[in-house]
Amino acid sequence: MTPNPRTRTPLPKRTVSIIGTGSHLPERVLTNAELEKLVDTTDEWITTRTGIKERRIAADGETTSDMAANAARAAMEDAGISADEIDLIILATITPDFFMPSTACVVQTKIGATRAACFDISAACSGFLYAIEIAQQFITSHTFNTILVIGADKLSSIVNWKDRNTCVLFGDGAGAAILRHRAHGHGVIATRMGSNGGLADLLQVPGGGSACPITAANVGQDLQFIRMEGRETFKHAVTNMVDSARKVLDDAGLQSSDLACVIPHQANLRIISAVAERLEVPLDRVMVNLDRYGNTSAAAVAIALDEANRTGRMKVGDYVLLVVFGGGMTWASSVIQW
Ligand code: UT7
């Protein structure tokens, strides 16, 4: 029988590796002592309730895309690739340079990745891991070979510097990873993603979008700033991070004792400790840098991954768990073999 020319043998699924990482933090350090002069707070309160000691703040004119492009350059150097090898740029952010064009397109021009297709995704603090999963689907399906994934946020641009409930928590920064198929390579083993839009009100920026544009009539109402119900967000963060981490470990056929390193979202040291305790992972196997950078939203886990990579916390073959939580509400967990 003549084979049907329209029927193609499916290509085998491909393993997807992170072949390079990079990050960028602005130079300006904002300490808890400086915040004591801005709002009614203390270094003692911030340290004991969050674990944060200082955070980085972008310079005047330093944009999300500037930080993202620097992180991307560092990741390309680490991976040993040039910009023209990049097929796709996925950038996760809630603080894009503009509504249009996408910040990924702005980064494309800054780094000279002229062959790449580009888009942004919005999943708040979970964005980087969502973007990693999207990238790995594109590579697994043979659509693209080399993908630049970036998590970048300039939260100082949407923080209300008069609101002590939020302004002490956040910082600016960017992290990036290059993903590529690597024969016999290690890679992303399993990912779980979840969302609950019914809890959107707990963490939001109410104004500035099409639902509530900033107009002359509402301009003084602080609608363009982050608002958060901290205590409720805290509870959902712990529950969903633990639940998704357990499920993804199960999918990967691993126990938490198999993990060499856990890289969690950097929102609050008490959240990280609660998650580690419930997963029965000792804290010395957990990556923590929020004392220096605060919560940088989509950038947080990307920066932590880069630090873990550069400080040799992960050796080839090690199992690593990434676990995130953010506005939406959204959450995700991935197990990666380094
Ligand atoms: O990245 C996305 C996900 N985000 C998170 O996961 C963040 C989750 N939430 C948290 O990390 C914590 O809830 C916070 C750090 C935001 C707050 O800590 P908390 O222990 O939950 O404090 P609280 O909101 O229950 O407030 C306790 C007290 C309140 O005073 P009263 O009402 O008890 O008199 C606050 O007004 O602490 C007060 N407070 C502060 N005091 C000094 C709140 N912020 C401050 C501050 N300095 N900066």
pLDDT at 3 over 60: no
C-alpha to C-alpha distance for 12 and 9, rounded to whole angstroms: 9
User: Ligand 1, atom 23: nearest CA belongs to which residue?
Assistant: 231
Question: What domains are there in the chain, each with its CATH number?
Answer: 17-184 (3.40.47.10), 188-337 (3.40.47.10)
Q: For the chain, give the number of residues.
A: 338
Looking at residue 15, its pLDDT comes to 84
CA of 78 to the centre of ligand 1 (A): 38
Long-range pairs of 132-137 with CB within 8 A, sequence gap ≥ 24: 132/18, 132/177, 132/179, 132/188, 132/191, 132/322, 132/334, 133/188, 133/191, 133/193, 133/332, 133/334, 134/90, 135/16, 135/88, 135/90, 135/179, 136/16, 136/179, 136/187, 136/188, 136/191
pLDDT at 13 over 90: no
**Mean pLDDT score of the chain:** 95
C-alpha to C-alpha distance for 37 and 170, rounded to whole angstroms: 17
C-alpha to C-alpha distance for 96 and 102, rounded to whole angstroms: 7
179, β-bridge pairs: 18, 147
Looking at residue 11, its pLDDT comes to 56
Looking at residue 9, its pLDDT comes to 59
CA of 274 to the centre of ligand 1 (A): 16
Could you tell which of 46, 165, 235 is best to mutate to test the pocket of ligand 1, judged by most ligand atoms within 8 Å of the CB?
A: 165
Active site residue 265: yes
What stretch of H or E contains 329? none
pLDDT at 39 over 80: yes
Task: Using pLDDT thresholds of 50, 70 and 90, give the confidence band for residue 326.
Answer: very high
Spell out a b/e string for 312-323, using b for 16 or more CB atoms within 10 Å of the CB, else e.
Answer: ebbeeeebbbbb
pLDDT at 2 over 70: no
Work out whether strand 203-204 and strand 227-228 pair parallel, antiparallel, or are unpaired: antiparallel
Task: Using pLDDT thresholds of 50, 70 and 90, give the confidence band for residue 187.
Answer: confident
* Pocket, ligand 1, Cβ cutoff 6 A: 41, 45-46, 49-50, 125, 164-165, 168, 203, 230-231, 233-234, 237, 267-268, 271, 295, 325-326
pLDDT at 281 over 60: yes
Active site residue 105: no
Looking at residue 57, its pLDDT comes to 98
Query: Which residue type, as a one-letter code, is found at position 337?
Result: Q
Looking at residue 7, its pLDDT comes to 57
Q: What percentage of the chain exceeds 70 in pLDDT?
A: 96
C-alpha to C-alpha distance for 328 and 331, rounded to whole angstroms: 9
CB 96 within 8 A of CB 102: yes
Say if residue 61 is exposed, middle or buried (CB neighbours under 10 Å; 0-12, 13-18, 19+): exposed
Average pLDDT for residues 192-213, to the nearest whole number? 97
Q: How many CB atoms lie within 10 A of CB 291?
A: 15
pLDDT at 331 over 60: yes
Reported as a single tens digit per residue, the pLDDT across 77-98 is 999 999 999 999 999 999 999 9
How far CA 197 is from CA of 67, 81, 140, in Å, comes to 29, 39, 29
- On the CB side of 146, CA atoms within 13 Å amount to 17
C-alpha to C-alpha distance for 125 and 261, rounded to whole angstroms: 20
CA of 36 to the centre of ligand 1 (A): 15
Looking at residue 186, its pLDDT comes to 75
Ligand 1 atom with least separation from CA of 50: 15
Any residues with CB less than 8 A from the CB of 324 and at least 6 apart, and which?
125, 126, 128, 129, 241, 264, 265, 300, 301, 330, 331, 332, 333
Selected catalytic residue, list 118, 125, 167, 261: 125
Reported as a single tens digit per residue, the pLDDT across 131-186 is 999 999 999 999 999 999 999 999 999 999 999 999 999 999 999 999 999 876 67
Selected catalytic residue, list 265, 268, 289, 309: 265
C-alpha to C-alpha distance for 180 and 105, rounded to whole angstroms: 20
Any residues with CB less than 8 A from the CB of 239 and at least 6 apart, and which?
none
Active site residue 295: yes
Average pLDDT for residues 281-309, to the nearest whole number? 98
pTM higher than 0.75 for the full model? Answer: yes
Task: Using pLDDT thresholds of 50, 70 and 90, give the confidence band for residue 1.
Answer: low
Task: Using pLDDT thresholds of 50, 70 and 90, give the confidence band for residue 10.
Answer: low
